[in-house]
Structures are given as structure tokens and as C-alpha cells.
């Protein structure tokens, strides 16, 4: 009888190395896939923001509310809403529209400002919801500082 244990242990050793490599590749793939998926979501949101913009055209503030009129300038993508912000220089309040304003559409949004001084700055920015439903505000919000009508 021939007893070749060295040949059998070499095969087992090779199989163990192959198994370890497969497990390591699987672990690395899980980490890389998560990073790639989050990067793709960020890129998609950034591309949507580059394609779309909004401009504040008027602001009428009466001491308790500020009616801010905005016009969507461009963009073919459907947006998830517009965030408008009114500020008196020391405090600010915002509201999210939560509606899709079509390209070149005009809408007026109301922001509560009870207890504020004269409003000195109004901003508006588009947002797109991420996969979890959280708004991703586009950078480069339009700021409106001259022509704010404070009638309080």
C-alpha cells in the first residue's frame, strides 16, 4: 500500500488558501460596493443641482410672515421642493415647499417671522430627496437682499 500524506496535505493547503482568498474578496467587495453606491447617489444629486436653479423675485414681509416669490430658472429634472429662508440678520426661519415647481414656473411661499426685526435677507434653494427621503439642499442658493418690502 502506498501512503502519500504529503500530496494530500498540499491539496488541502491549496484549497484553504483559495477559500481564504474568496472570503477576503467578498469582504472587500461589500466595503467597496457601499462606497460606490453612496458616491453614485451624491453624483446624481449634484448633477440634478447643476441642471436646475431658482431665483427669488420678490419678498413682502408684514411682521409675522414673509411671502417670498421664486421662479425656477431651468432644469428638466423633477425637483422635490424648494427651501425658502427669511433672515433679519440675527435669526432666520425656513420652510420647505415639498412640491415640484416646473421649469420657468413661479410660486409664492410663506415663512413665519413673528418676533423678528426687519427682514434683511431672503434665500431660496432647490432640493432633491435622497434614498432615505431626506432633503439634499442644492448649494448656490439665490440670495435676495435689496427690494425686500417690510410693512410691519
For residue 137, the domain's CATH number is 2.60.40.10
State which H helix or E strand residue 71 sits in: strand 65-74
The residue assigned the cell 436646475 is 52
Q: Residue 43 falls within a domain, yes or no?
A: no
Number of domains the chain contains = 1
**Greater pLDDT, 39 or 57:** 57
Structure confidence at residue 22 as a pLDDT band (50, 70, 90): very high
Q: Looking at residue 26, what is its pLDDT?
A: 93
Which of 19-28, 93-102, 116-125 is predicted with the least confidence, judged by mean pLDDT? Answer: 93-102
Q: Looking at residue 6, what is its pLDDT?
A: 61
Asked if pLDDT for residue 4 goes beyond 70, the answer is: no
Q: Residue 13 falls within a domain, yes or no?
A: no
Q: Looking at residue 141, what is its pLDDT?
A: 80
C-alpha cell at 152: 410691519
Residue 134 CA neighbour count, 13 Å, CB half: 4
Amino acid at each position: 500500500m502506498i501512503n502519500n500524506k504529503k500530496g494530500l496535505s498540499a491539496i488541502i493547503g491549496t484549497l484553504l488558501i483559495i477559500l481564504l482568498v474568496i472570503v477576503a474578496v467578498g469582504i472587500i467587495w461589500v466595503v467597496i460596493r457601499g462606497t460606490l453606491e453612496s458616491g453614485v447617489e451624491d453624483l446624481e444629486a449634484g448633477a440634478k443641482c447643476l441642471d436646475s436653479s431658482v431665483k427669488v423675485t420678490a419678498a413682502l414681509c408684514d411682521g409675522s410672515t414673509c411671502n417670498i416669490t421664486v421662479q425656477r430658472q431651468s432644469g428638466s429634472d423633477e425637483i422635490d421642493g424648494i427651501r425658502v429662508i427669511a433672515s433679519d440678520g440675527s435669526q432666520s426661519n425656513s420652510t420647505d415647499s415639498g412640491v415640484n415647481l416646473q421649469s420657468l414656473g413661479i410660486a409664492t411661499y410663506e415663512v413665519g417671522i413673528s418676533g423678528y426685526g426687519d427682514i434683511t435677507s431672503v434665500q431660496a434653494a432647490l432640493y432633491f430627496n435622497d434614498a432615505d427621503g431626506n432633503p439634499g439642499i442644492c448649494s448656490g442658493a439665490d440670495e435676495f437682499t435689496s427690494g425686500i418690502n417690510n410693512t410691519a
